Amino acid sequence: MPVAVYVLGLSVFALGTSEFMLSGLLQPLARDMGVSIPKAGLLVSAFAIGMVVGAPLLAAATLKLPRRTTLVALLAVFGLGQVAGALAPSYGVLFASRVVSALACAGFWAVGAAVAVSLVPVTARARAMAVMVGGLSIANIAGVPAGAFLGQHAGWRAAFWAVAGLSALGLVGVLALVPGTKPPTGADAPRLRTELGIYRDRQVWLALVTTALNGAAVFCLFSYLAPLLTDTAGLDEGWVPTVLGLFGVGALIGTAIGGRIADAHLFATMYGGIAASATVLAVLALTAHTPAAAVGMALLLGVTAFATAPALNARMFNVANAAPTLAGATTTAAFNIGNTVGPWLGGLVIGAGWGYPAVAWTSAGLAALAVGTTAIASRLHHATAGSRVIAGSSGAVPTASASAEAPARAES
């Protein structure tokens, strides 16, 4: 795997820490800002909304710009957004800073994903995306618990300052180690109209819906995991960083598993991971009042949720092969549509007075819907496979420079 892919994964660590750390900061942040837990949870949705809007817009706007320059500029804006959040005098300013940071994060994900898959053969796409998703896993293991710890001992603003520092380190790494490229010209130049053509494909929309439902299932519950652990399971607030760290350990394990098997068994990975998440969420809903069970289910949810991520990413790049930049943007947007809808639904459930276990039931239902859309996509894929150009197991492996243009390979 090229070192540049690992640099992108390390940059994603900073982005992921900011995206997810509010799960461990909701209670001190809500107290400081004088807002309710559900309203504080909307800050998670604010970030996700920025990701949804920013991914396709920035991907389109930067289509003909040098990719390394784009990545550096986006990391700089992201870091400034973290500084603004750390200095925010009110909830409204903090909300706006989250949206701005998310726009930059979305653009980085879209462009970074396109760079990552362009550097590897088509048969290694899921592994390349697993490295980037691995940055999120490490963020959950180290960044999110550290943010929660800082929030409890130095104030929630300290967590934002820490992420600003991490983004500066990522910027230096991209400048030093990601290869610089000039934008293609002539017949090879990317064309927005051509890339937009992917949205005429039903499989692209099925991949988008499945990814969004899976994200909603996970983050409907994860956004309110800290208050579930303290208010329902009865754990002390000091346990929250540890449990978030366990979720991150599970996420890293799941990413490693998914990255190893998704290239060869894509649909099986999607089926297995999403169905397993639905089961874990249902069990959590039933056992949320038992501390040991709640902690164990948090660990398992990390495994099942992130085991599907490399497959979902690779699936989008396969069905949207003619538009690698918008494919990355669409995947990013889809994940964050789920990250927007999930916390919002969870907030509605809490606001209705149904309790945190009902949030887990809602998440399980969303995961079950994602299994259904996966089944539809699988049936359609096998029905139309004969009309597609499939890269078989024999023959030369595409070079890294040609991988973005390589046809979709068989999926199982």
Using DSSP's 3-state secondary structure scheme, residue 391 falls into: strand
The set of residues, in sequence order, having a beta carbon less than 8 Å from that of 391 and lying 6+ positions away, is 122, 123, 398, 406, 407, 408, 409, 410
Query: Residue 339: inside a domain, yes or no?
Result: yes
Closest CA to 369 of 213, 173, 179: 213
Residues paired with 198 in a beta bridge: none
Looking at residue 312, what is its pLDDT? 87
Residue 336 lies in a domain: yes
Q: What is the mean pLDDT of residues 24-38?
A: 83
Q: Which pLDDT belongs to residue 345?
A: 92
Two tokens at 193? 């109209």
Residue 178 domain flag:
yes
The pLDDT assigned to 309 comes to 84
The pLDDT confidence band at residue 278, using thresholds 50, 70 and 90, is very high
Please give the pLDDT value at position 403.
Answer: 31
User: Who's near 152: CB < 8 A, 6+ residues apart?
Assistant: 28, 237, 238, 241
Q: Is 61 left (phi over 0), alpha (psi -120 to 50) or beta?
A: alpha
Asked if residue 410 belongs to a domain, the reply is no
CA distance 137 to 124: 19
Range in 9-13, 144-148, 244-248, 302-306 with the lowest mean pLDDT? 144-148
391 beta partners: 409
Ranges 111-125, 148-162, 173-187, 392-406: which has the least confidence: 392-406
Q: Give residue 368's pLDDT band: very low, low, confident or very high (50, 70, 90).
A: very high
- Considering the domain boundaries, does residue 284 fall inside one? yes
Strand pairing partners for 409? 391
Q: What are phi and psi for residue 236, nearest 5 degrees?
A: -70, 150
Instruction: Assess if residue 210 is contained within a domain.
Output: yes
Phi then psi for residue 388, to 5 deg, are -100, 155
- The residue-averaged pLDDT of 243-254 equals 84
The domain that holds 329 is classified in CATH as 1.20.1250.20
In a domain, 411, yes or no: no
CA-closest candidate to residue 271, choices 384, 412, 127: 412
pLDDT-derived band at 385 (thresholds 50, 70, 90) equals: low
**Range 207-243 burial, b when 16+ CB lie within 10 A, else e:** bbbbbbbbbbbbbbbbbbbbbbbbebbebeeebbbeb
Nearest-angstrom CA–CA distance, 324 and 336: 19
Under 8 Å CB-to-CB from 185, ≥6 apart: which residues?
A: none
Cα–Cα nearest to 317, from 382, 372, 262, 399: 262
Alpha-carbon distance of 327 to 204, in angstroms, equals 9
**Largest pairwise CA distance in the chain:** 63
CB–CB of 310/261 below 8 Å?
no
At which residue do the structure tokens 């991971």 appear? 273
Look up tokens 């490399």; give the residue.
310
Query: Domain range spanning residue 320?
Result: 3-182+190-405
Q: What pTM does this model have?
A: 0.69
Q: Quick check: 315 and 258 in contact, CB under 8 A?
A: no
Q: Is pLDDT of 196 > 70?
A: yes
Average pLDDT, the chain: 80
Mean pLDDT over 69-91 rounds to 91
Give residue 372's pLDDT: 93
Q: 300-312 burial string, b = 16+ CB within 10 Å, else e?
A: bbbbbbbbbbbbb
Residue 177 to residue 170: CA distance in whole angstroms: 10
Residues 6+ apart with CB under 8 A from 380: 202, 203, 206
CA dist list (Å): 47 to 34, 89, 217, 245, 333: 20, 18, 17, 21, 11
Quote the number of domains for the chain. 1
Question: Is residue 402 over pLDDT 50?
Answer: no
Q: Please check the confidence at residue 222 and state whether its pLDDT lies above 50.
A: yes
Q: How confident is the model at residue 399 (pLDDT cuts 50, 70, 90)?
A: very low
Each residue's pLDDT tens digit, 286-336: 999 999 999 999 999 999 988 888 888 788 877 876 666 677 778 878 887
Residue type, 74: L
256 belongs to a structural domain: yes
Residue 292: the pLDDT is 93
Q: For residue 405, is pLDDT > 60?
A: no
Please list, in sequence order, all residues whose beta carbon lies within 8 angstroms of the beta carbon of residue 64, skipping any fewer than 6 positions away: 183, 189, 190
Q: What percent of the chain has pLDDT over 90?
A: 23
Mean pLDDT throughout 97-116? 84
CB atoms < 10 A from the CB of 272, how many?
A: 19
In one-letter notation, the amino acid at residue 75 is L
pLDDT band at 394 (very low <50, low <70, confident <90, very high): very low
Taking a C-beta distance cutoff of 8 angstroms, is the pair 299, 250 a contact?
Answer: yes
Q: Tell how far CA 184 is from the center of its chain.
A: 29
Inform me whether the pLDDT recorded for 389 exceeds 60. Answer: no
